[in-house]
Chain A
Amino acid sequence: GAGVSQSPSNKVTEKGKDVELRCDPISGHTALYWYRQSLGQGLEFLIYFQGNSAPDKSGLPSDRFSAERTGGSVSTLTIQRTQQEDSAVYLCASSLLYGVEQYFGPGTRLTVT
Chain B
Amino acid sequence: SQQGEEDPQALSIQEGENATMNCSYKTSINNLQWYRQNSGRGLVHLILIRSNEREKHSGRLRVTLDTSKKSSSLLITASRAADTASYFCATPDNYGQNFVFGPGTRLSVLP
**Contacts from A to B (Cβ < 8 Å):** 33, 35, 41-43, 45, 48, 50, 55-56, 59, 91, 93, 98-107
Contact = CB atoms under 8 A, between A and B. Distances in A.
A55 B44 contact: no
Interface stretch (B12-20, B60-68, B71-79, B92-100): B92-100
B45 A103 contact: yes
Contacts of A101: 33, 45, 48
A106 B101 contact: no
A43 B88 contact: yes
B99 to A, nearest CB: 5
- Size range of the interface on B? 20 to 34
A48 B99 CA distance: 8
B63 to A, nearest CB: 13
A106 B42 CA distance: 6
A48 B97 contact: yes
